[in-house]
Amino acid sequence: MSCLFIFIALVLSSCVFGSLTTSATALDQTCGNKVVNTIVVDQSGSSGKFRKVQDAIDSVGLGNDLWIKIKVKRGVYVEQVTIPMNKSCIIVEGEGQRVTTITYNGNKATDVSTTFTSHPSYVVVRNLSIMNTYNRLDSLPTTTSNGMSWNIKPAVALNVYGDKSAFYDCDFLGLQDTLWDNQGKHHFKNCYIEGAVDFIFGQGQSIYEDCKINATAGALASKVALGYITAQGRQNPSDPSGFVFLRGSVSGSTSVYLGRAYGPFSRVIFIQTELSSVVHPLGWDSWHCDAHKWSLTYAEVECKGAGSDMSGRVPWIDKLSYSAAKQRFSISNFIDQDGWISNIPSF
């Protein structure tokens, strides 16, 4: 896949670094700061009006501009969920990671086989698991019934297009292309993200705060000798996008690069992250954008752990200081300049 092809595909603090401070500009009051209505989803039918998450979303009025909570009771919901562009200000809330799960077995084009797709701005998802089971079930055969080898294909769990969207205490599980951080400013906090190949990718402008990254191919470990955590698609120097990993950890069972270039100005920063021995000594891969490798912004700032040894890293890695990282990539400066995060209703 060339950089040109990628471009065409993508065109469609307080004392503690990373605290949720707001800038001096006026707060973004879109959607208000209170939930005005709660819709309950219960697949057992014992409570709530709806048995499917998508039915509850469909019931929200077009042009919605006040926070509506969709409370999803415990259970495994086998369905594709899409929040359309004209339905902002929606909170989808489960009862806990691995307690409430939305899952689907999609393996066609990434834009139509995603388990959970969010199009509008101002969407919050919390306390649930989102999974694409394709290529990751423990019971998945490595060969088909006719003896042909099983092909690993992109299978997206989450695709987020909308600006100013947040994901708290969620699991995202897949193998290839698990989380499509497509575009817009996003805040992921206390999340668990699992996969092996480009499993956090896209052109989003996002901070992953205190997230656990698990690099594993599961049942297909023998098919994936080497993986990649990120494939970030920044296209030019003025493009504000980038992935910032603040604290959290990288672990797993599959050797992985921290990232490979999904665009000629790809940008990924790991700050104070615990890196286990699964991180490949080279750390980063310029992929099909080798001619632009000195334009890539890849940095590891005050990371620790067995995988944080910088002596074998690629020579074109960024030498970013902690003070510079704090200034440029804090939550308040990178994604929350107008305080939209502070306006999200509490539980």
Q: Which of 163, 177, 181, 285 is catalytic?
A: 177
The length of the chain is 347
For residue 215, which phi and psi values (nearest 5 degrees)?
-90, 105
Of 231, 223, 221, 172, which is closest to residue 198 (Cα–Cα)? 231
Q: Which of 171, 181, 198, 336 is catalytic?
A: 198
Distance between CA atoms of residues 331 and 18, nearest Å = 5
3-state class of 222 per DSSP? helix
CA-to-CA separations, 165 to 10, 36, 91, 274, 313, in angstroms, rounded = 19, 19, 10, 26, 33
* Residue owning tokens 């205190």: 210
Annotated catalytic residue 198:
yes
Distance between CA atoms of residues 13 and 7, nearest Å = 34
What does 20-39 look like in DSSP terms, one character per residue? Answer: ----SSPP--TEEEEEEEEE
Annotated catalytic residue 171:
no
Radius of gyration of the chain (CA): 20
Of 344, 331, 334, 340, which is closest to residue 20 (Cα–Cα)? 331
For residue 331, which phi and psi values (nearest 5 degrees)?
-60, -45
Of 174, 97, 173, which is closest to residue 128 (Cα–Cα)? 97
User: Which residues belong to the active site?
Assistant: 177, 198
